[in-house]
Structure 1
Amino acid sequence: MTADPAHTDLWPAPHASGAVDATVHVPGSKSVTNRALVLAALASEPGWLRRPLRSRDTLLMAGALRAMGIEIEEGVGPDGTGEAWRVLPTGLRGPATVDVGNAGTVMRFLPPVAALADGPVRFDGDPRSYERPLNGVVDALRHLGARIDDDGRGALPLTVHGGGALEGGPVSVDASSSSQFVSALLLSAPRFNQGVEVRHTGATLPSLPHIRMTVDMLRAVGAQVDSPESGGEPNVWRVTPGALLGRDLAVEPDLSNAQPFLAAALVTGGRVLVPDWPARTTQPGDRLREIFTEMGGSCELTEQGLEFTGSGSVHGIDVDLGEVGELAPGIAAVAALADSPSTLRGVAHLRLHETDRLAALTKEIDELGGDVTETADGLHIRPRRLHGGVFHTYEDHRMATAGAIIGLRVGGVRIENVATTAKTLPDFPALWAGMLGA
C-alpha cells in the first residue's frame, strides 16, 4: 500500500518579501455550521443554512445526518443568491454507519442524536479518533437511558441503539477534557422527554465560549435554556423539552480560521482586512483582536469588517488561553517570532485534541531552532533565531497553519501534509498565496 502523496509531499511555506496588504474572505465557521446542521436535523420544520462551510468536518457532519435519514439539499438560498443548504428533518432512523473522521463535533454531538433514531447507529473514524475522549458523552447518555455498545472503552468505535426517544433528566459530567461533552447533551436535549439538566463536576471547563455558542444557537431556534450566564446556577445548564423551529441562518466567518491571516499582518508589519467580522459573536476567535493587539498590532472594526495592522514589532505575551485553546498553535507561532518570551497558560486539554498540540508545537518549533518548554498547562516560548526545515502537522490543521505563519519570516520552512487544513479551511494554500499577491 503506497502513502497518499498529499500526506507525504512537503509544501514550501511562502516567505514574505515585505509587509502584506490584503483583503481575505474567510470561509464560514465550522463550529456554527455543525451546530446549525444538528439543530436543523432535530427541528419540526425545514430550515436554511446560508454560506455554510464546506470542509472535511462539515461534510462529515452532513454525511452522518444523511446516513441517519435527514435530507440535506445543496444549492442556492431562498432568495436565489449565495450557497445554501436546505435541511429537511425527515426523521432519524437506523441502521446507519457514521464516519466521524477526526472531527470532535461529529463524534460527540451525534451519539445523542443517534439515541433518538429508530434503530442502531455505528460510529467509526480515523485511527486518531479512537484516542480522543468520548467517555463523558457515553456515560451521560447511558445515565439518561440510552443503550450503547463500546466494549467498555468510552471511545470509538461504538454503536448507539436508538429507541426513537430518550428519557433525559438530570446528569453530571466531567467536561474538563472537552466542553463538547456539555454542548453535545444540550443540542439534542429539547427532544428528550424530560429535557436535560447538565451539571459539570470537573475542576476546569475549557473553551467556555463554545458552550455559550451552543446556548445562543439553541435559543435562536426556540429552545428554553437556563445557563450560568443568564443568572442560573454555576456549571449547570437546563434545557426544557419542546419543538425546535426551522430557521434561515447565515453562518459567520470562522474567526479562528482568520488567525493565520491576522498573524501575517502582525509578523510582517502589514495590513489584512477580514470582511463580515461580526460586531457581536460567541466565537472564541474574537479574542484575537485583544491578544494580537497586545502582541504589537492594532485593529479597527468597520462596516467593511476587521482591519488589522502590524506595527513592525512583535512582542511576547503572558496569557491564559483556557477558554480559547484552539488559538494556541497560531499564538505559539507568533510568539516564536517575538522580541521577548511568552507564556501560554490554561491549555492542558490541548493534549487531547487532533494531536497532542503542546508536545507537537514544542517539537516542531524546537527543530527549527526555537526554545519551547512544555509546562503542566501550556508552553513557555523563548524566541531564538529560527532556520528552515520540515514542520510536521500530525494530521492537525492548526499545526499546518502555525507552520505557515513561521514560514512568512523564516526561509526554507516546508510543511508536511498541508492538505490537512481542509478539515476546517478549504483551499488554504490558495488563500495564503492570494494574500501574498501570488
Structure 2
Amino acid sequence: MTETPALPALWPAPLADGTVHATVTVPGSKSVTNRALVLAALAAEPGWVRRPLRSRDSQLMSDALRALGVGIEETASSSSGDGAGGEAWRVIPAALHGPATVDVGNAGTVMRFLPPVATLAAGDIRFDGDPRSYERPLGQVISALRTLGARIDDDGRGALPLTVQGGGALEGGVVEIDASNSSQFVSALLLSGPRFNQGVEVRHTGTTLPSMPHIRMTVEMLRAAGAQVDTPEAGGEPNVWRVAPSALLGRDVVVEPDLSNAQPFLAAALITGGTVTIPDWPRRTTQPGDELRRIFTEMGGSCELTGAGLVFTGSGKIHGIDVDLGEVGELTPGIAAVAALADSPSTLRGVAHLRLHETDRLAALTAEINGLGGEVTETADGLHIRPRPLHGGVFHTYDDHRMATAGAVIGLAVEGVQIENVATTAKTLPDFPKMWTDMLSGAGA
C-alpha cells in the first residue's frame, strides 16, 4: 500500500462554513472486494477483481490468501469487457498450503471467512490479530467447522488466536449455528461450501439474524461464480441455506462503490442543505448502504439516481427518525451523528449486535455524543437520541472507522470537535481526511 502522510493524534474536524456542493468518488466496497477475493482464490481458474477497495481490511485479506499460496497480481490499470478501467487484481488459484500465519487485524471478514478456507489447505494455518479481535465472536464458526470435520486448536477459548490443522479437504455436510451475533458466521460457511466434499447445509438456530443483505450478497456472488445455492427466499426452509459441492468459475468482477462509506458525504449534504453526487451508484445492489437513500430522505433530504450517479440534496432541515436498523447495522454510527443534530428525537432499534463490532458501538456512541453535550440513552437493542446544543471536545474512536466518520459528521456543525485517531478510517476508507476536506472545498463539483 502507498504511504500516507502522518495524521495528528487529534484531528480538528473541519467546520462547514456554508452549503456543501461536491462530487465524491467513493472507493470500492470492502464487503464485495473481500468476498470476491475468497471466491476467486477457491475457483478452478484464474479471475479478475477490478476496482477493488485498497484498504487495511482488503490488504489483510489479500496478504492472507497469498500466505496460503494464492497468486494475486496487482495492475495499475486494465479494462474488462464492460469498459471498467482502474486498478485490477489478477487472482490465480493454487493448491492451498501451510504452514502459514494469517494476521486478521480487526477485520471480521478475514477472521471469519478464512478459517473455513484454511481447512482446505495442507498444513497448519495460524490465525492472530489485533487485541480487539480476541474479544469478537468466533466460537460459532469454530464449532461449526469442527462439526463439519475440521481440526482446530484454540485452547478452548472459542476465539482468536487459533490454529487450523488443514487436511487439504473438508467433508462438509449439515451444521447448526447461531448467527445472532453476526451474519458473517453464515457467509463464512457458504463461501467455502462448494469446495467441501458434501457441500454444506447451514441451519441458523438463533432468534434473530442481523445484516441479512450481506448474506444475500454472499449468495448472489456464489451463484455468479457457478455455485448452486438454495435459500429461504427461493422457497426453501426458513433460516436454512444449502450449497452443493462444485467447481467455482474464475470470473471478471467489477467491485461496486462502497455505499456504506458514502454515508458521511451524504450526511454532509443533509446537514448543510447542500448537494453531493456519488458516481457509479448501482441501480440494483445487495449492499446495505443502499438504504441510505430511504433513511436520509426520511430525515429531510431528497435523492435522484441520474447518469452522473446518486445526487443527494439536503433541505436545510434535519428530522428525527424511528427506524429498525437490524439489517443495516453498520449505518448506525452515521445515522446517530445526524440524529444528534436533528430537530426532533430519534430511536434507532434492532442493533444490539453492535456491542460486538469493532468496538461496543452503542456504548461508544452514547459516551462520545454525550461528551459533546448530547443526550443519548442506550436501550436494550439500540439508542434513543434527544437533540441538544452540542459543543466542541475530543471525540474518541476506539479504533473504529465508523466512529471516526461519525465524529467528522458532527464536526461539520459543531465547532471545536477533535477526532482521536482519525487514521483508523484506513480500515475501509483510505484517505478519508483528504476526501473530507476536498468535499468541503467543492473539489469535483
TM-score range, shorter chain: over 0.9
CA contact (8 A) 1:7 1:416 kept: no
Alpha-carbon separation, structure 1, partners of 2:119 and 2:89: 25
Alpha-carbon separation, structure 2, partners of 1:256 and 1:232: 30
Deviations 1:298-324 (A, max 9, x none): 000111110000000000000000000
| Structure 1 equivalent of residue 216 of structure 2 | 212
Aligned partner of residue 301 in structure 1, secondary structure? strand
| Structure 2 equivalent of residue 170 of structure 1 | 174
Report the CA distance between 1:81 and its aligned residue.
4.0
Report the CA distance between 1:413 and its aligned residue.
0.2
CA contact (8 A) 1:50 1:84 kept: yes
Aligned partner of residue 257 in structure 1, secondary structure? helix
Select 2:249's aligned residue among 218, 229, 245: 245
Structure 1 residue 18 and structure 2 residue 18: aligned? yes
Q: In the alignment, residue 150 of structure 2 is paired with which amino acid?
A: A
| Structure 2 equivalent of residue 154 of structure 1 | 158
| Structure 1 equivalent of residue 64 of structure 2 | 64
CA contact (8 A) 2:50 2:85 kept: no
Structure 1 residue 284 and structure 2 residue 285: aligned? no
CA contact (8 A) 1:73 1:85 kept: yes
Q: What is the root-mean-square deviation of aligned Cα atoms in Å?
A: 1.1
CA contact (8 A) 2:79 2:86 kept: no
Structure 1 segment 272-421 matched on structure 2, within 5 A:
272-421=276-425
Alpha-carbon separation, structure 2, partners of 1:256 and 1:375: 24
Aligned partner of residue 210 in structure 1, secondary structure? helix
The percent identity for this pair of structures is 81
Report the CA distance between 1:9 and its aligned residue.
1.0
Alpha-carbon separation, structure 2, partners of 1:152 and 1:215: 31
| Structure 2 equivalent of residue 87 of structure 1 | 91
| Structure 1 equivalent of residue 44 of structure 2 | 44
Q: In the alignment, residue 419 of structure 2 is paired with which amino acid?
A: I
Select 1:123's aligned residue among 111, 121, 127: 127
Deviations 1:304-356 (A, max 9, x none): 11000000000000000000000000000000000000000000000000000
TM-score (norm 2): 0.96
Q: In the alignment, residue 61 of structure 1 is paired with which amino acid?
A: M
CA contact (8 A) 1:69 1:91 kept: yes
Report the CA distance between 1:231 and its aligned residue.
1.5
Q: In the alignment, residue 327 of structure 2 is paired with which amino acid?
A: E
Report the CA distance between 1:78 and its aligned residue.
5.0
Aligned partner of residue 385 in structure 1, secondary structure? coil
Q: In the alignment, residue 205 of structure 1 is paired with which amino acid?
A: L
Alpha-carbon separation, structure 2, partners of 1:223 and 1:39: 10
CA contact (8 A) 1:125 1:157 kept: yes
Q: Which runs of 5+ in 2 are unaligned?
A: none
Q: In the alignment, residue 105 of structure 1 is paired with which amino acid?
A: T
CA contact (8 A) 1:77 1:85 kept: no
Report the CA distance between 1:230 and its aligned residue.
1.4
Deviations 1:125-169 (A, max 9, x none): 000000000011100000000000001111000000000000000
Aligned partner of residue 409 in structure 2, secondary structure? helix
Select 1:104's aligned residue among 97, 108, 119: 108
Alpha-carbon separation, structure 2, partners of 1:383 and 1:125: 38
Q: In the alignment, residue 37 of structure 1 is paired with which amino acid?
A: L
Report the CA distance between 1:8 and its aligned residue.
6.8
| Structure 1 equivalent of residue 229 of structure 2 | 225
Q: Which runs of 5+ in 1 are unaligned?
A: none
TM-score (norm 1): 0.98
Alpha-carbon separation, structure 2, partners of 1:327 and 1:81: 29
Q: In the alignment, residue 117 of structure 1 is paired with which amino acid?
A: A
Aligned partner of residue 260 in structure 2, secondary structure? coil
Q: In the alignment, residue 360 of structure 2 is paired with which amino acid?
A: D
Aligned partner of residue 351 in structure 1, secondary structure? helix
CA contact (8 A) 1:20 1:268 kept: yes
Aligned partner of residue 277 in structure 2, secondary structure? strand
CA contact (8 A) 2:51 2:85 kept: no
Alpha-carbon separation, structure 1, partners of 2:69 and 2:140: 26
Deviations 1:273-313 (A, max 9, x none): 00000000000000000000000000001111100000000
Alpha-carbon separation, structure 2, partners of 1:189 and 1:165: 11
